[in-house]
Amino acid sequence: MDNWQKYLKQSATYKIFSNFFVQLVEFLSTIGGMTINFIEVLKYILKGDWDKKELIEQCSRFGVSSLPITLSIVGMTSVIVASQVALEMVKQGGSGFVGLLMTMLIVREVGVIMSGFAIIYMIGSSLASEIATMRVTEQIDAIEVLKVNPLKYLFVPRVLSGLIMMPPVVAIASAVGVFAGAVTSNLAAGLTYRAFFDSAWLGIYMKDLGVCILKAATFGAVIAHISCSCGYEAKGGAKGVGEATTKAVVWSFVAIVILDMFFAIAFFF
- Per-residue pLDDT tens over the stretch 161-195: 999 999 999 999 999 999 999 999 989 888 888 88
In a domain, 238, yes or no: yes
Query: In total, how many domains does the chain have?
Result: 1
CA dist 154 and 51 (Å) reads: 10
Q: CA angle, 72 as apex, 66 and 75 as ends, to 5°?
A: 130
More confident residue, 160 or 37: 160
In a domain, 62, yes or no: yes
pLDDT value of position 263: 93
- Per-residue pLDDT tens over the stretch 198-208: 888 877 888 88
pLDDT bucket at 145, cuts 50 / 70 / 90: confident
pLDDT value of position 75: 92
User: Residues 110, 81: contact at Cβ < 8 Å?
Assistant: yes
Does residue 2 register a pLDDT over 70?
no
Q: In terms of residue numbers, what domain contains 149?
A: 51-268
21 CB-near residues (< 8 Å, 6+ apart):
none
pLDDT bucket at 106, cuts 50 / 70 / 90: very high
In a domain, 19, yes or no: no
In a domain, 12, yes or no: no
pLDDT value of position 217: 94
pLDDT bucket at 3, cuts 50 / 70 / 90: low
In a domain, 146, yes or no: yes
- Per-residue pLDDT tens over the stretch 50-87: 888 888 988 888 888 888 889 999 999 999 999 888 88
In a domain, 83, yes or no: yes
In a domain, 217, yes or no: yes
Distances (CA, A) of 227 to 29, 70, 136, 221, 245: 16, 18, 16, 10, 8
In a domain, 24, yes or no: no
